[in-house]
Amino acid sequence: MIPYETTHLILIFKEKKLDLIKISLPLNAFEIAKRISFQKQKNYTRFIVRLSIAATAISVAAILITLSIVNGFQQTVSNKVYDFWGQIRIASINGAPLEANVSIEKNLSKINFVERVTPFLNQSTVLSFEQDIEGVVARGLPANTSAPFLIKGRSIQNENDSLSNEVVLSDQLATTLNISVGATVRLYFLNLEDVQQRKLKVVGIYHSGIEDYDKQFILVDIKLLQQLNNHFTQIEGYSIALKKGADIDKINDEVQAQMPSNWVATSIKDYYPQIFDWIGVQTVNRNVTITIMLLIAIVNLLTCLFILMLERVPMIGTLSALGATQNFIRQVFLYQASFICWTGIGLGTTLGIGLSYLQQKFGWIQLDESAYFIKTLPIQFDWAQIAAVVMGTALISYCSFLIPTLWIKKIAPAKAIKFD
């Protein structure tokens, strides 16, 4: 706080064009910073402040948009794989078929965060419709199991636990072979050197967006494949779907603890490392982008503060000559930098969340699904991350602001008042 008598001397210096603002008594650092930051008259300071606020806002908005896009992309692609295979797969160590075990299924279902345990059996086959044929893999699931990514028709159903002669195809196969819901197709299985044929009715069409799945897999009743193998309790393994928020690795260890000696539980991430490694790379890209944006924001604020201090050298000298301490003068510029920092952060947060919400709502930005597995750029908000960005940016900025204010102690009052 500067003494009352000093305040009158400051008002006299204004008449000598030292650009000091009349303020209410008592004089304090916050009041000075507010007046010199938000003057209504057009001047160089006003332009620098606005430019710095805009640069800070753009940096914060870019960080928030990057986070929401990467979060949405990683979550969406991961969920596509999980919806098709589950988060954990159980199979034999040597790849041989397993015997379905109701007791194990019940025990697994009791594990915390386990949502569903589904037996499955895969077998290669040839799909035929009219004159066209296509080699595919029949994925056998229990009837009345909800088909993933269903876009037309329904899932496979049966009555009284009987065998269902129904099939669900991908839209890619349906388009390639010109098959529609309600059509009858033939499947040819090679079993013990004999070819066995089955007629199945197409009851549904699915679309996962992952080309390797869509062009390869069809869904049938698991009992159909068991009948072909003359073994009604034979399965390839179990897929385990987990609830949201589950720790996959931890639950995988719990599942493995309940397995017989020749059974192994494996995270689906280990079955398809190429997909999940690719997803993980996005985290590196995200971190690099955030680091660059933070550096831009910090350098911008530092440059702005240095320029503002240079422009206010006469004011710094005058305040020093009138008895103001270096801490008082430093507070003036720290308050001014705070105005710029928080205004930029506020505008950037509003802009980043607003643009992300518009993309989430309307899906204007489209992607090449064959390359990214998704048609529309996904958005997912993580409010904890948003709060961390806001507070982290402010904290780093405040630490950076201390650097230029160290220059204040080098300003000699006598020379500063003559500064032009």
DSSP conformational letter for 376: B
List Cβ neighbours of 176 (8 Å cut-off, separation of 6 or more). Answer: 132, 134, 215
Per-residue confidence (pLDDT) for residue 3, from 0 to 100: 46
Taking residue 39's Cβ as centre, other Cβ atoms within 10 Å add up to: 14
* CB atoms near residue 145 (< 10 Å): 17
**Beta-ladder partners of 194:** 191
Average pLDDT per 10 consecutive residues for the chain, totaling 420 residues: 42 41 53 65 68 89 94 93 93 89 91 93 93 92 91 89 90 93 92 85 94 92 90 91 91 92 91 89 90 86 76 68 70 79 92 95 90 91 93 85 66 54
Q: How is residue 295 written in tokens?
A: 């550096």
Q: What is the C-alpha to C-alpha distance for residues 391 and 387, in angstroms, rounded to an integer?
A: 6
pLDDT at 212: 87
Whether 282 and 74 have beta carbons less than 8 Å apart is answered as yes
CB 290 within 8 A of CB 385: no
Q: Which amino acid is at 254?
A: E
Q: Roughly how many angstroms between the first and final C-alpha of the chain, as a whole number?
A: 27
185 SS3 class: strand
Tell me: cis bond preceding 26? Omega within 30 of 0 counts.
Answer: yes
Which residue shows structure tokens 């385990």? 240
Strands 166-170 and 194-206: parallel
How confident is the model at residue 20, as a pLDDT? Answer: 44
Query: What distance in Å separates the CA atoms of residue 184 and residue 130, rounded to the nearest whole number?
Result: 10
**Digit-coded pLDDT (tens) for 192-242:** 678 889 999 999 999 999 988 999 999 999 999 999 888 888 999 999 999
Contact (Cβ atoms closer than 8 angstroms) between residue 340 and residue 347: no
Instruction: Find tokens 């930029």 and name the residue.
Output: 344
CA distance 218 to 156: 11
pLDDT recorded at residue 231: 85
Q: What is the pLDDT of residue 301?
A: 80
